Amino acid sequence: MLNSSFDAIVPMLCVVLSALASMAAEAFRRKGEKMPIGGLGVVGLVAAGASTVILWNRNTTSFGVIAGDNFGLFVTGILVIVGLLTFFFSSSVLERNDLPRGEYYTLILFSISGMMMMATATDLLVIFIALEVMSLAVYVLTGLRRDDPRATEAAFKYFLLGAFSSAFFLYGIALTYGLTGSTRLDRIGTFLAAQALTGSPMILIAMGLLIVGFAFKISAVPFHMWTPDAYEGAPAIVTGFMSTGVKAAAFAAFARVFLSSFEPFSADWVPVLSVIAVATMIVGTVVGVAQTNLKRMLAYSSIAHGGYLLVGLVSANQVGKAAILFYLLAYAVTNLAAFGVIALLGSHDRGNDELNDYKGLWQSHPALAALMTVSLLSLGGLPPTAGFIGKWYIFSAAVSAGYYGLAIIGMLTSVISVFFYLRVVVMMYMADRDGAAVPATVSRLAMTALTVAIIAIFVLGILPTPILTLAAQSIATIF
């Protein structure tokens, strides 16, 4: 049994050790030899999940900067699910697309460790370090197909814009430290509570810089420019991973910083986030309608979903706070399932990610067509799926908090978004394949993972109360 001062870091330690084991296995692997490197990652993720369950309700702290509270553990659980589903989809995809297994699995695991640290950190500098650990791994994953110019361009753009946003975030941390004398969130909150009536311009500037850093990671408008190119250029399985894991970690840190430390100045940052939420929902939906590439369409869908999550953050009541966690879980399993189908249908020479590639999919792969349909309907927020419940509680929170405009815009954009989701369904069921390439055979493991994800979508949509209650209890431990 580890000393209690180390307990809070056990989940991420399990992931880091499995990443190191994967890296060592790849280093000692003979050329042409097949080694179950992915299995090492699965073991690490399962161990992280088990330790998360063991640490539940213990509220431990490591070194004063990593909190093992239920909020961080809930997000850690989401990240474990994201990692396991990604690994289960990856095996056949890596072989078919000739991607380096060792590098891929190691980078995924290091990225997840950064995400876990970001979700549990209670110090701005530790959040920044976690953000960089996560981001550097994702930059490399985006450009993993080194022979593809689109992947190289996407990784380069993502890296440059990411470095730019990190500079803003770091300047925000520096200003916050200069004003409060600490980077610890609890001490910052205590200081700002005493200064709530002063309205210092420097505090407002610091908050603005931190918002820019977080907004970039969640693909909020106008800091979303990297998203379509990165999503299209990266391998589909990597796109699914970063669209869910990065968003979950970034929103966890965003909520922890602004709903606790900067809560005394909510009257200043809430209007800013409200405007960003409106712009994000509208741009993500309107521009998404015009897309013909499915990965770019889902990129703009991801932007719009970031706007819905911002509505929950702005509402900041108990319903809204719990809805953020529930929505992150629902979105994770839904979006991973959608990108999992895209990845499984792709090949080394052909991505099969254009809308026309999905014509008549039900004729060649009826099971994949059905699973893709459920994922898209959940993203559109149709009952009885997890997406519907998530949006219902987000908009209910906005109405309860008096943000009627945000709720109305959210509902209208959600209705419009149904159009581009249903367009894919129409392609799959009401059009002939007209000579498009026949998709490859799907492995049993990947199909099982897809089925589990779809079952989760229905369970969360039909029986959401246990998870919502758990989410509300989790977020109540810190706010």
- Residue pair 346/238 in contact by the 8 Å Cβ criterion: no
Q: Is 435 left (phi over 0), alpha (psi -120 to 50) or beta?
A: left
pLDDT at 187: 92
Q: Give the amino acid at 400.
A: S
Whole-number Å distance between alpha carbons of 204 and 351: 45
Sign of CA dihedral 178, 184, 189, 194: negative
Q: How many residues does the chain have?
A: 479
Phi, psi of 387 (to 5 degrees): -60, -40
Question: Would you write out the chain's pLDDT as a tens digit for each of its 479 residues?
Answer: 344 578 889 999 999 999 999 988 888 877 766 777 888 999 999 999 999 999 998 888 888 899 989 999 999 999 999 999 999 988 878 877 777 888 899 999 999 999 999 999 999 999 999 999 999 999 999 988 888 888 888 899 899 989 989 999 999 999 999 988 999 999 998 888 887 656 678 889 999 999 999 999 999 989 888 899 899 888 889 999 999 999 999 999 999 999 888 988 888 899 999 999 999 999 999 999 888 889 899 999 999 999 999 999 998 888 888 899 999 999 999 999 999 888 888 766 666 778 888 888 888 888 888 999 999 999 998 989 999 999 999 999 999 999 999 999 999 999 999 988 999 999 888 877 665 555 557 788 888 999 999 999 999 999 999 999 999 888 877 76
Task: Encode burial over 441-452: b for 16+ CB neighbours within 10 A, e otherwise.
Answer: ebbeebbebbeb
Distance CA 358, CA 313 (A): 36
Smallest Cα–Cα separation from 231: which of 213, 244, 222? 244
Q: State the Cα–Cα distance between residues 446 and 466, nearest whole angstrom.
A: 28
The answer to whether 343 and 93 have CB atoms below 8 angstroms apart is yes
Q: Which residues contact 281 (CB under 8 A, 6 or more apart)?
A: 304, 307, 308, 311, 409, 410, 413
Q: What digits encode the pLDDT tens for the residues 303-341?
A: 999 999 999 999 888 888 889 999 999 999 999 999 988
Q: What is the pLDDT of residues 347-389, one digit of tens each?
A: 666 667 788 888 888 888 888 889 999 999 999 989 899 999 9
Which residues are paired to 121 by β-bridges?
66
CA distances (Å), 45 to each of 34, 83, 134, 171, 434, in order?
Answer: 21, 7, 16, 34, 42
